[in-house]
């Protein structure tokens, strides 16, 4: 069955960088665009970034552009999100999600909690 | 990329129907039918409930239905059950390879 498992979260200091990973199983990410979505504590969902199935096209939320990079390793069936210059307001659960095309965000991981604190 | 507007809360008694609205602008909703709805129980990942405005993925009860008129989409939950108590988020493709979510609605089953 389709599974997405995020890793790489934790407590980090302001100004540092973090790399999150999302390991997919049950399908090949070669055939799908993949997203990152985050949710600050007690808040709503915020779309963060998407990477096309071939990895050639990447798009980012305006609020984070310049500080984040999405990438994928199709050989490892894994998607990554690098976040730089972390701020307190980046504290959130970061989810990866599969883009089902017209179907929407059809599968989600359990999320990785990132806490930015000194 | 402003968030879509949802009421913060909604409620209904078991067996009743509740409708949750989601309002955008012509730049996100207006030109697209890529509207989807997600259910999220506390501490859990979101779950796709409705896509393309009014289609249900396999396994989602037909008590859940969606619609859209102009710049407002709606999710209706009929025959409310205790397990429907959750947060609900709408989502739309917003053009220029970006997506936008609503602020979320907490549905309480009284």
**B46/A106 touch (CB, cutoff 8 Å), yes or no:** no
Mean pLDDT to the nearest integer, B40-58: 96
pLDDT at residue B34, rounded to an integer: 86
The yes-or-no verdict on residue B23 having pLDDT over 90 is yes
Q: Which of A44, A102, A103 comes nearest B101 by C-beta? A: A44
pLDDT at residue B106, rounded to an integer: 98
- The residue among B78 and B70 whose pLDDT is bigger is B78
Mean pLDDT to the nearest integer, B100-107: 96
Run of H or E residues at A101: none
Q: Which of B46, B47, B51 comes nearest A45 by C-beta? A: B46
The yes-or-no verdict on residue B1 having pLDDT over 70 is no
For residue range A55-106, list pLDDT tens digits in order.
899 999 999 989 999 999 999 999 999 999 999 999 999 999 999 988 899 9
How distant is the Cα of B43 from the closest Cα of chain A, in angstroms?
9
Percent of chain B with pLDDT over 90: 81
The answer to whether A103 contacts chain B (CB < 8 Å) is: yes
CA–chain centroid gap for A110, Å, is: 12
Residue ranges of E strands in chain A: 3-7, 10-12, 18-25, 34-39, 45-51, 58-60, 68-73, 78-83, 92-99, 105-108, 112-116
Q: Which residues of A touch B1 (CB under 8 A)?
A: 47, 61-63
Contacts of B107 (CB under 8 A, 6+ apart): B9, B10, B11, B12, B18, B20, B77, B84, B85, B86, B87, B88
Q: How far apart are CA B73 and CA B20, in angstroms?
A: 8
**B102/A103 touch (CB, cutoff 8 Å), yes or no:** no
The answer to whether A14 contacts chain B (CB < 8 Å) is: no
Identify the bridge partners of residue B35 per DSSP, sorted by sequence position.
B92
Q: Which of B38, B51, B104 comes nearest A102 by C-beta? A: B51
For residue range A23-63, list pLDDT tens digits in order.
999 999 999 999 999 999 999 999 999 999 888 999 999 99
Residue tagged 């310049």 (tokens): A66
pLDDT at residue B87, rounded to an integer: 98
The answer to whether A56 contacts chain B (CB < 8 Å) is: no
The yes-or-no verdict on residue B30 having pLDDT over 70 is no
Residue ranges of E strands in chain B: 9-12, 18-23, 35-40, 47-50, 64-69, 72-77, 86-95, 98-101, 105-109
């Amino acid at each position: 069955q389709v599974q997405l498992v995020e890793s790489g979260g934790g407590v980090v200091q302001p100004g540092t960088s973090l790399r999150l990973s999302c390991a997919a199983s049950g399908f090949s990410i070669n055939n799908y665009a993949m997203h990152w979505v985050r949710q600050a504590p007690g808040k709503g969902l915020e779309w963060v970034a998407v990477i096309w199935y071939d990895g050639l096209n990447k798009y980012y939320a305006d609020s984070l552009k310049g500080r984040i990079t999405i990438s994928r390793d199709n050989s490892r069936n894994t998607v990554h999100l690098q976040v730089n210059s972390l701020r307190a307001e980046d504290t959130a659960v970061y989810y990866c999600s599969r883009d089902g095309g017209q179907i929407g965000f059809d599968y989600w991981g359990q999320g990785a909690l990132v806490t930015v604190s000194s | 990329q402003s968030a879509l507007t949802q009421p913060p809360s909604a409620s209904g008694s078991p067996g009743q129907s509740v409708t949750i609205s989601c309002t955008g602008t012509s730049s996100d909703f207006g030109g697209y039918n890529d509207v989807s709805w997600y259910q999220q129980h506390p501490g859990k990942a979101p779950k796709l409930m409705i896509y393309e405005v009014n289609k249900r993925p396999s396994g989602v009860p037909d008590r859940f239905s969606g619609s859209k008129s102009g710049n407002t989409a709606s999710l209706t939950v009929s025959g409310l059950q205790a397990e429907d108590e959750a947060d609900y988020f709408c989502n739309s493709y917003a053009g220029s390879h970006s997506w936008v979510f609503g602020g979320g609605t907490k549905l309480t089953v009284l």
